[in-house]
Amino acid sequence: MTGRVGKLDRLTTHLLRRLELLRGRWWRWRGVSAGKRFGLGPGVRIFYPRCLTAGNDVTIEGPAYLHCLSERGVRIGSNSSFGSNLWLHCGGSPADHSHGYLEVGEHVFIGANGVLGAGGGIRIGNYVLIGQCVNIHAENHNFADRNRLIGEQGVTYAEVVIGDDVWIGSKATILAGVTVGQGAVIGAGAVVTKSVPPYAIVVGVPARVIGYRGESAA
């Protein structure tokens, strides 16, 4: 009969969770500062683990790539989780790691295939829902001089801030310097180039406000 959870299913789920917790303990031994029930899926790679701090009940599904080198580091609040194929880079190198960071609040979910280019810093509030394949970039390549290669013109860093109770739909992109106000909704596939007011609903490329949460339908 379909649609039933059997004893073997429950046993498998329990075993997989135990393996996640064991991996979390191993990474704590490597230098991660984490609270209770820190779980990691298979294939999670953490570079500069001493720069990573996590609260209680944090889970990162594998595989994942986390490059945490920065002075402010990576901080993840309790009861937050990340789907598989997360890519995070704080933009730091041993010679220069003063500008990037990631701060994630409590009760945050980031779906599979998330890309977080945190060279200019990314700050995410509490109770934020982020769908699959969302890109957040806190840096931009400079390109004004057409007589020089873009790769030779350096990078500009600008913080991205996402307020509490925000929902970001799948495949949305948020660019450097943007602040998404509390309670806002970002439609699937939107490209957000300008800051979003609190409780606004934005869609499109580039994203534009089409309404506000709580407004009566026209």
Annotated catalytic sites, by residue?
A: 141
Calpha distance 155→140 (Å, rounded): 6
Q: Give the type of residue at 211.
A: G
Spell 117-126 as b/e; 16+ CB within 10 A means b.
bbbbbbbbbb
Q: Which residue has the tokens 């995070």?
A: 88
Which element (helix H / strand E) includes 34?
Answer: strand 33-34
Handedness of CA 119, 161, 169, 17 (dihedral sign): positive
Phi then psi dihedrals of residue 65, to 5 deg: -130, 115
Any long-range contacts for 140-149 (C-beta under 8 Å, 24+ apart)?
140/175, 140/176
Beta carbons within 10 angstroms of residue 22's beta carbon: 11
The pairing of strands 208-212 and 200-203 is antiparallel
